Structure 1
Amino acid sequence: MSIRTRGTRMTYRSLTAAALAALMAMTLSPTDAQSAPARESRPVYSYPDAIRESVWVDTRIDGDGDGRTDRVAVDVVRPRETARQGRRIPVIMDASPYYACCGRGNESQRKTYDAQGNPVQFPLYYDNYFVPRGYAFVAVDLAGTSRSDGCVDVGGRSDVLSAKAVVDWLNGRARGYSSRTGGERVRADWSTGRTGMIGKSYDGTIANGVAATGVEGLETIVPIGAISSWYDYYFAKGAPLYNSGPDWLSNYVESPAARQRCGAVQQRLVDGAPRTGDRTPLWAERDYVPDVDKVKASVFAVHGMQDLNVRMNHFGQWWEALADAGVERKVWLSQVGHVDPFDFRRAEWVTTLHRWFDHYLLGYDNGIDDEPMADVERAPDQWSTDRVWPPRETRTATVRPDRGEAPGVGTLALKPARPGASETFTDDRTLDETDWAAAVDRSTPAKAGFTTRPLSRDLRLSGSSRVKVTVTPTTSTAHLSAVLVDLGPDTIRDYASSGEGITTLPERTCWGASTSGDSACYKETAAHTKAVDYTIFSRGWADLGNHASDATGRPLTPGKPVTITLDLHASDHVVPAGHRLALIVAGTDRDLIDPPASTPTLTVDLAKSAADLPVVGGVRAFQQATKGAPAQLAPRESGLLDGVAEPRPIRPIPGGTP
């Protein structure tokens, strides 16, 4: 039960935190119970002596059609001391398809087992750090992966319900067994039922999906670089991405046995997800945003603002829906790509996550729910905080493109262009957003760029932008891209590098207790930075054939103008004084969207086009920043703009680099 008020985080669980903390003090060791009220769990339990066991939980669905309900493998590690004393403990859970095929974390760790099949290594540090502090850690193989029955359906019913069944089992509502077939009944009588799900990418996506079922006992989720709608992973308003569909990903993560039995599920993924970009019923099943009103868990979201795998639109639409539903929430937004916070802000992350779980799973009144909602990385390893996100002062400022002195090199201001003003460009599938940004001040045939004057003061954009354009195509198919660019020198994390903004170092630090088969020590990382002359900080794409409907595309009529709105990815970026803000409109963004069948030339009606920007301070802030004496920047020796390397082609693997 929650007392839900938009913009606040006062809940029933917050009001009863002190009572729960007192109760948990009785279930922990005498050492912990000496301090009242408890504010932090302590590492008082033996990790080497912990109970390690495997359970197969009945999902109550028959995804592989073999006539019996599927069971998913659940590996558990928990303190032996609490078991001996009959004390119940909360659970941290990571449900993943990657434990066998690909590994987890920066070092691609997999689960390992002894000769009897008992779990030995649990990937990542969650078990090493939290089990000694009185938590159980549960690692779930999603249906169709590793040692589980069933089939992978890429974010659909089987994926989500196989993880939900484990939450039900932890709360006494589902059945667990000692083997995949047959076996003795196993009960989670050691669990309080209070569960927190965590995970990066596919794992965090499943946490979103399970939370959207409203399952009782799921107290909090920590989705890291997670998907909120699978349609938006494979398409951008009809424009296809990755040159593949969910069947490729399903085949990639499934166990060899599942590949033999899941042909029918694979075919349903092919048939239900045509590369036309239409929103079929398959995609509706895999969209968690409409069910956000069912979410009872608090949410601590983490996302890289330069994540070109699971892009920021997933975070943006999920976050906005959570806010509308009054869900308790917190966020970290970094400058990296698809990277876990353990690998870009390790010490602060472990401390914050510890306090988060202590509050929401143990009930400790440690104040984390009263602290600023958002941490935002402003420069490599430099962070700021916001009481709420986006800041309360954020308002929409509608800015307009207009012609400049040279073709394709226009202006961006509040005043609309005169009727009849236009710019024309031809789609060039060999170019991408970095090529457009580097040539923003030069007339080139493949883009139209519009820039403000140099700013007289900082201008902060915080949230999601939208760009409405009226375009006349010369062909029956066309793709459209729009990007926002900060034109000016800076040092940023090199998100297009192989590490997506981090460099892995040989030195290791340890986070918890270890055994001979499961080390708590991980390689350190450092920011991988690059000096640039521009920064692309938001982007969006669309198939122009989807101008009349987000759900269905249609052929264009050459020579007939159409109007479409591109949803640009959420971001939080400060364009400093002296820099310029640019909006660039072009065709195919190479390696980020697939090219159309034709090579269209498009004419943009500037008088009927505009961008709605989430400006902190709104229109007044934009006016103030674009008037007055512009700040002066030291000239650079080169006349060409230098940004990060062109974006790397991303395979459709939401776990990122295994």
Structure 2
Amino acid sequence: MRRALPYAVSATLVAGAALGLAPAAHAESTSTSTSTGSIRFVDIAGDGGTVLKANVATPAGAAGDRRFPVIVLPTSWGMPQVEYLAQAQQLADSGYVVVSYNSRGFWQSGGQIETAGPRDVADASLVIDWALAHTPADPERVGMAGVSYGAGISLLAAAHDKRVKAVAALSGWADLIDSIYSGRTQHLQAAALLGGAGCLTGRPGPELQQVLGDFLSSNLDKEDEMIAWGRKRSAATHLDALNTNRPAIMLGNAWGDSIFPPNQFASFYEKLAGPKRLEFRPGDHATAEATGLLGLPNDTWTSAHRWFDHYLKGVDNGVDREQPVRLKPRSDAGYEGYPDWASVNAHRTTIPLGGSEHLWANVDSGADGGVIMLSSLLDQFLQAPPTASIPLLPRAFAGVWQTERYDTAQRVRGTARLHTTVTPTAESGTFVAYLYDVGPLGIGKLVTHAPYTFHGKEPGRPFGVDLDLFSTAYDVPAGHRLAVVVDTVDPLYIEHNPTGAQLTFSSPAADPSYVSVPLRTE
């Protein structure tokens, strides 16, 4: 039976870490005993001898020559080394050695923040080396897991270290560029949040400072360098190595993740060749896993435990025979299973975007993607996504197309796609496309959206745009309709519309504009 870390221990460790006084601060190795096992706080030498603050949980009665599967947990961005203590204890109780370490550059670990660079990948392998040398860890049964930053490092480590046999990557990224620069649009609030948290809790290296500065200042002269920096830190770039090593990979994310949107995980999942599983749930960045970090019952962590039990311990728990794609809609509905991601998007309906919409740029119409972290949290717990009054959106600044009311509920599942023709009055510009569920009173609830930015276009010359909106699972009630809205300003993103710029969205007879919406029909 899994249990929470005793509250007094958990609260003391978390409070100490928040004050910069985590137990590993002044000692090479200290330990805390529990009724079923032990937790040690240790220093581990990372790449170049950099000290990584870590903690180790071992099963009760671990002695002699017996070996146990080992799971390595790199911490999330900005989180102290005690982040996973509750999960580590639960895993140790069920027969795992668990080593959690503070990623370099954060809190009391040494070095500078490398943002999942080569030194972070080397650190992960050295932590595995340490675990095999200093704990009863089995070298044939090595797993890695993490939330957010820890997820990204775990995937990269599995591509570079053949010893990693199983991974649970939760609320992470496979493609860093497609996460915070999708549609070639800077995700302003996401980048600012990550940059601010890094400065508060760690020591950003010069490369990160330069890249973040260029990104937020829209230094397009450095765009190729920024993209190359991000590609190096993306597991998708190392797909061949992963498919050669064939670790069993579980990917979990939230529909409303405002830092690492779900599309990039889904695309990456389809290209993996080894054992794999994809899970999407309501929520925002890392909110689907949060209660599990406190030791409370949690669907995401339960799945991760089952994944490791099968692929590291050989338990016949059926996880390998279940539908590998599991989706929980943003409603009260239960989980749905699919054989692959393509099956999620198999059935589609088309919303025609007829006529022509002429917009003045630089003005927020009132259609927005919400506020990072807050909006998707409200949707997760209260089913209250961002809203807009569709009839009141100013048509000078927003283009609007609506369907007729649906006689039956429409279960949107997967990735909606926009195809349209845009004519700009300037060579650069940005627009954001939204899909709304519109009720009888005209109030639209946001289903999904995505930004798009262009540069180097000839003013007055139309060009085609194909844009994937962020993947989702949303039930539109009977009697409601869907609305497509485009405007040019959203506080989530940096926009590139020159002052006085205008955009025209048209639907030529030879190439009609539309939004293709995936629906679950069974």
TM-score, normalised on structure 2? 0.77
Q: Which runs of 5+ in 2 are unaligned?
A: 1-32, 370-385
Give the aligned residue type for 1:537.
Answer: V
Change in Cα spacing, 1:381 to 1:137, as seen in structure 2 (3 Å) is farther
Q: Which runs of 5+ in 1 are unaligned?
A: 1-44, 63-68, 104-109, 112-120, 173-185, 404-420, 491-531, 546-553, 622-658
Change in Cα spacing, 1:422 to 1:536, as seen in structure 2 (3 Å) is same
Within the alignment, does 1:369 sit opposite 2:312 as a pair? no
- Select 1:543's aligned residue among 453, 472, 477: 453
Find the residue that maps to 1:355 and give its secondary structure: helix
Within the alignment, does 1:275 sit opposite 2:218 as a pair? yes
Contact 1:246–1:273 (8 Å) recurs in 2: no
Q: How many residues align?
A: 458
Contact 1:90–1:136 (8 Å) recurs in 2: yes
Change in Cα spacing, 1:533 to 1:219, as seen in structure 2 (3 Å) is farther
Counterpart of 2:44 in structure 1 is 56
**TM-aligned CA deviation for residue 131 of structure 1:** 1.2
Cα distance in 1 for partners of 2:210, 2:311 equals: 41
Cα distance in 1 for partners of 2:328, 2:265 equals: 20
Question: Deviation digits for residues 156-201 of structure 1, max 9, x if unmatched?
Answer: 222333224323544x5xxxxxxxxxxxxx5455444523322222
Counterpart of 2:390 in structure 1 is 440
Counterpart of 1:582 in structure 2 is 483
Cα distance in 2 for partners of 1:360, 1:562 equals: 49
Cα distance in 1 for partners of 2:357, 2:128 equals: 56
Greater CA drift, 463-472 or 423-432: 423-432
Contact 1:97–1:253 (8 Å) recurs in 2: no
- Select 1:466's aligned residue among 417, 438, 459: 417
Change in Cα spacing, 1:370 to 1:151, as seen in structure 2 (3 Å) is same
Within the alignment, does 1:239 sit opposite 2:190 as a pair? no
Cα distance in 2 for partners of 1:302, 1:285 equals: 22
Find the residue that maps to 1:612 and give its secondary structure: strand
Find the residue that maps to 1:476 and give its secondary structure: coil
Question: Deviation digits for residues 592-621 of structure 1, max 9, x if unmatched?
Answer: 44464434221111234233333445xxx9
Cα distance in 1 for partners of 2:255, 2:217 equals: 29
Change in Cα spacing, 1:541 to 1:189, as seen in structure 2 (3 Å) is same
Find the residue that maps to 2:283 and give its secondary structure: coil
Contact 1:96–1:202 (8 Å) recurs in 2: yes
**TM-aligned CA deviation for residue 340 of structure 1:** 2.8
Contact 2:171–2:260 (8 Å) recurs in 1: yes
Counterpart of 1:127 in structure 2 is 88
Contact 2:422–2:464 (8 Å) recurs in 1: yes
Change in Cα spacing, 1:426 to 1:161, as seen in structure 2 (3 Å) is farther
Alignment of 1:6-25 (within 5 A): none
Cα distance in 1 for partners of 2:360, 2:35 equals: 62
Counterpart of 1:483 in structure 2 is 434
Cα distance in 2 for partners of 1:439, 1:390 equals: 33
Structure with larger RCO (C-alpha < 8 A, sep 6+): 1
Find the residue that maps to 1:378 and give its secondary structure: coil
Change in Cα spacing, 1:150 to 1:604, as seen in structure 2 (3 Å) is same
Counterpart of 1:426 in structure 2 is 360
Question: Deviation digits for residues 467-488 of structure 1, max 9, x if unmatched?
Answer: 1221111233210111122223
Give the aligned residue type for 1:127.
Answer: A
Counterpart of 2:171 in structure 1 is 225
Within the alignment, does 1:76 sit opposite 2:56 as a pair? yes
Counterpart of 1:140 in structure 2 is 101
- Select 2:240's aligned residue among 256, 279, 293: 293
Give the aligned residue type for 1:88.
Answer: R
Contact 1:240–1:593 (8 Å) recurs in 2: yes
Give the aligned residue type for 1:163.
Answer: A
Give the aligned residue type for 1:438.
Answer: A
Within the alignment, does 1:569 sit opposite 2:516 as a pair? no
Counterpart of 2:123 in structure 1 is 162
Within the alignment, does 1:151 sit opposite 2:112 as a pair? yes
**TM-aligned CA deviation for residue 362 of structure 1:** 0.9
Counterpart of 2:162 in structure 1 is 216
Change in Cα spacing, 1:264 to 1:602, as seen in structure 2 (3 Å) is closer
Cα distance in 2 for partners of 1:208, 1:200 equals: 11
Within the alignment, does 1:196 sit opposite 2:143 as a pair? yes
Change in Cα spacing, 1:93 to 1:380, as seen in structure 2 (3 Å) is farther
Find the residue that maps to 1:365 and give its secondary structure: coil
Change in Cα spacing, 1:440 to 1:333, as seen in structure 2 (3 Å) is same
Cα distance in 2 for partners of 1:439, 1:122 equals: 41
Within the alignment, does 1:207 sit opposite 2:127 as a pair? no
Provide the identity percentage: 21
Within the alignment, does 1:340 sit opposite 2:288 as a pair? yes
Contact 2:58–2:96 (8 Å) recurs in 1: yes
**TM-aligned CA deviation for residue 422 of structure 1:** 1.4
Change in Cα spacing, 1:402 to 1:342, as seen in structure 2 (3 Å) is closer
Cα distance in 2 for partners of 1:253, 1:89 equals: 37
Cα distance in 2 for partners of 1:586, 1:602 equals: 9
**TM-aligned CA deviation for residue 266 of structure 1:** 3.6
Q: Which structure features the higher share of helix residues? A: 2
Change in Cα spacing, 1:488 to 1:331, as seen in structure 2 (3 Å) is farther
Task: Look at both structures and tell me which one has the larger radius of gyration over its CA atoms.
Answer: 1
Cα distance in 1 for partners of 2:210, 2:255 equals: 34
**TM-aligned CA deviation for residue 135 of structure 1:** 0.9
Cα distance in 2 for partners of 1:543, 1:468 equals: 14
Counterpart of 1:252 in structure 2 is 199
Counterpart of 1:357 in structure 2 is 308
